[in-house]
């Protein structure tokens, strides 16, 4: 392939809940051996499957930290509503201490399903996100803080759990709107985006870069991350089918993003209003049939090793430096092929460069 000069490319996986904590520990150890950078976990109160299991990821990450030595662990993503920033600062710093500095804090604007049924205030999402990040960084100094914002007030406040040998747990802002991308560029250590073609990713990255430059930051220091629904297999068609279905379901939660590619579907499953009911997952799967395979293909990385390698290169060319894969039902085979073939390939390119 004719690639531009490469910076180091990182590869990570978003893990599900696992059959047991022992299953997750074994998976984390395997990820570390295969050269993955981070194990990410969703942070929800509920999942769409009414009969499923949704566990708190923070103690899970703490447990995995005690069985690994250099694999990073992160939330993808939490929100600024369910935990006061002081509690979130303490929890994430505690995990950073347990892991000897391997914690990452992914945070976004949240979803209705995790707040509305519990009467947790869910308003002014972008402004609350921005203020939460400000408070986190203030508290992580360990100094006594007086702060009066729009949502939070601190009076001679301090916490006694601080990041491990660094000033901050790295904050990754999940940003998929112009306003949140400004926050990512101005305040984040990383930016997480999803459901983007390489061309659309390039456009959105320009907004993040501009926001960073506007406050005097070096945008090259941002960990530019693409959360991608993926499947890798020796059976290319099976991999594509699996990945496409995941992507199509994701688009039902986010119909506005689908409109960027010229398609419209009902917004009845939009995550801005979607609540978990007995047949929510069935409704999502039914509506996903209205999303064409063509648009699923342009935002995913799926297929054979060669197809996925070429696709990763396309995203690298537009600025992605960190890939966070969700493999779904193909997890084991995808992780094996990624760790055995694709990660070594890009590591060699980086060394050669």
What percent of the chain has a predicted confidence (pLDDT) above 90?
Answer: 92
Tens digit of each residue's pLDDT (9 = 90 or more) over 149-186: 999 999 999 999 999 999 999 999 999 999 999 999 99
Q: Is residue 258 part of a domain?
A: no
Query: What is the number of H-type helices and E-type strands within the chain?
Result: 13, 11
Distances from the Cα of 291 to the Cα of 255, 326, 352, angstroms = 10, 19, 41
Predicted TM-score (pTM) of the model is: 0.96
DSSP 73: E
What is the mean predicted confidence (pLDDT) over 58-74? 98
Q: Where are the alpha helices (DSSP H) in the chain?
A: 21-33, 57-65, 85-98, 125-139, 178-187, 198-214, 236-253, 255-259, 280-288, 293-299, 305-317, 331-337, 343-352
Structural domain contains residue 269: no
Establish if 286 belongs to a structural domain. Answer: no
Q: Sign (positive/negative) of CA torsion 167, 169, 172, 173? A: negative
Structural domain count of the chain: 1
Position 1 scores a pLDDT of 44
For the segment 319-344, what is each residue's pLDDT rounded down to a tens digit? 999 999 999 888 999 999 999 999 99
Q: Give the model's pLDDT for residue 328.
A: 83
pLDDT of residue 5: 53
**Predicted local confidence at residue 351, as pLDDT:** 74
**132 belongs to a structural domain:** yes
Q: Domain with 332 in it: what CATH number?
A: 3.20.20.30
What does the pLDDT look like over 97-131, one tens digit per residue?
A: 999 999 999 999 999 999 999 999 999 999 999 99
Domain annotation covers residue 292: no
Give the pLDDT mean for 199-218: 98
Share of the chain above pLDDT 70, in %: 97
Residue 160 lies in a domain: yes
Can you give the residue range of the structural domain that contains 87? 10-239+302-352
- Does residue 274 lie within any of the structural domains? no
Average pLDDT of the residues of the chain:
95
pLDDT at 16: 85
**pLDDT tens digits, 234-263:** 999 999 999 999 999 999 999 999 999 999
Read off the tokens for 197: 């073609």
Q: Is 2 a residue whose pLDDT tops 50? A: no
Q: In 3D, which of 316, 338, 76, 296 has the Cα closest to residue 196?
A: 296
Average pLDDT over residues 61-66: 98
Q: What is the mean pLDDT of residues 10-15?
A: 97
Residue 134 placed within a domain: yes
Q: Is the pLDDT assigned to residue 213 strictly greater than 70?
A: yes
Does residue 352 surpass a pLDDT of 80?
no
């Amino acid at each position: 392939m004719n690639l531009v000069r490469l910076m180091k490319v990182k590869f990570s996986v978003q893990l599900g809940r696992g059959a047991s904590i022992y299953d997750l520990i074994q998976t984390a150890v395997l990820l570390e051996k295969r050269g993955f950078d981070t194990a990410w976990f969703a942070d929800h109160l509920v999942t769409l499957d009414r009969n499923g299991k949704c566990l708190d990821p923070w103690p899970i990450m703490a447990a995995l930290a005690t069985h690994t030595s250099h694999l990073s662990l992160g939330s993808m993503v939490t929100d600024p509503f369910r935990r006061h920033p002081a509690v979130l600062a303490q929890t994430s710093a505690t995990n950073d201490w347990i892991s000897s500095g391997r914690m990452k804090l992914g945070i976004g604007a949240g979803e209705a399903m995790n707040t509305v049924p519990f009467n947790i205030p869910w308003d002014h999402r972008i402004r609350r996100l921005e203020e939460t990040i400000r408070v986190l960084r203030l508290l992580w100094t360990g100094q006594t803080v007086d702060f009066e914002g729009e949502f939070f007030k601190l009076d001679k406040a301090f916490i006694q759990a601080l990041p491990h040998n660094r000033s901050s747990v790295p904050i990754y802002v999940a940003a998929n709107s112009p306003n949140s991308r400004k926050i990512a560029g101005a305040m984040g250590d990383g930016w997480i985006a999803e459901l983007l073609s390489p061309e659309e990713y390039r456009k959105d990255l320009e907004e993040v870069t501009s926001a960073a430059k506007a406050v005097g930051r070096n945008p090259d220091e941002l960990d530019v991350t693409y959360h991608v629904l993926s499947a890798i297999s020796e059976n290319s068609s099976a991999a594509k089918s699996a990945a496409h279905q995941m992507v199509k379901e994701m688009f039902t939660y986010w119909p506005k993003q689908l409109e960027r590619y010229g398609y419209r579907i009902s917004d009845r499953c939009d995550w801005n209003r979607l609540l978990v009911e007995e047949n929510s997952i069935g409704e999502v799967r039914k509506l996903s049939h209205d999303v064409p395979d063509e648009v699923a293909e342009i935002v995913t990385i799926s297929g054979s090793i060669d197809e996925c390698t070429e696709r990763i290169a396309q995203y690298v060319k537009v600025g992605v430096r960190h890939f966070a894969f969700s493999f779904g039902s193909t997890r084991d085979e995808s992780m094996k092929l990624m760790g055995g073939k694709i990660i070594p390939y890009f590591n060699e390119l980086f060394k050669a460069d």
